[in-house]
Amino acid sequence: MAPPVKYNARDCVFQISDGAATPVWTEIGGLNTFTLSRSENEETTDTTSFVSAGEYEGQVMQRGASLQLEGFRLTDPATGQPEPGQKLVEALGTKVGNLSLGQVRFAAPGETIWEVWTAYVSVGDTGGGNNDKASWSCTFTRSGPKTTMARP
């Protein structure tokens, strides 16, 4: 067995589902950074009592996670339409209630399974300065447990 190696963040893949019964997965384009937080929305409770002898005791009562994606705003120069993955993210980001939940999946290079989340998305700001390309970002917040699926 080969020893573990570092991998390039740029080789990670992030896709969003179109929400169909048999989903079509679309890569989210224009990205240049991501942050995966496996403790977002974590809740703990203090279980310290007199018998703890002054030492803190606690337990995790709720787990959560978030995935922040950032990069460049991409549009079709002929139509002005957003890049297909960004467009799906932005459409999901306008919904509320049960409709606000969609699916996102991601994998690192060499992984043979996708990590799949049911999540809601918050679309970030777009902006830039005089000599910048316009930015784009979003944050997926997992709702419920993660699942996995085989990656071809």
Per-residue pLDDT tens digits for 4-53: 999 999 999 999 999 999 999 999 999 999 999 999 999 999 999 999 99
> Torsion-angle region of residue 62: left (phi > 0), alpha (psi -120 to 50) or beta?
beta
Taking the CA atoms of the chain, what radius of gyration do you get in angstroms? 19
pLDDT at residue 152, rounded to an integer: 84
Q: Where do the structural domains in the chain lie, given as residue ranges?
A: 9-42+59-150
Is the pLDDT assigned to residue 1 strictly greater than 90?
A: no
- Residue 79 DSSP symbol: T
**Exposure of 65 by Cβ count < 10 A (0-12 exposed, 13-18 middle, 19+ buried)?**
buried
Classify domain 9-42+59-150 at the CATH class level. mainly beta
* Across 135-143, average pLDDT: 98
**Exposure of 62 by Cβ count < 10 A (0-12 exposed, 13-18 middle, 19+ buried)?**
exposed
**pTM of the shown model:** 0.93
88-123 pLDDT tens trace: 999 999 999 999 999 999 999 999 999 999 999 999
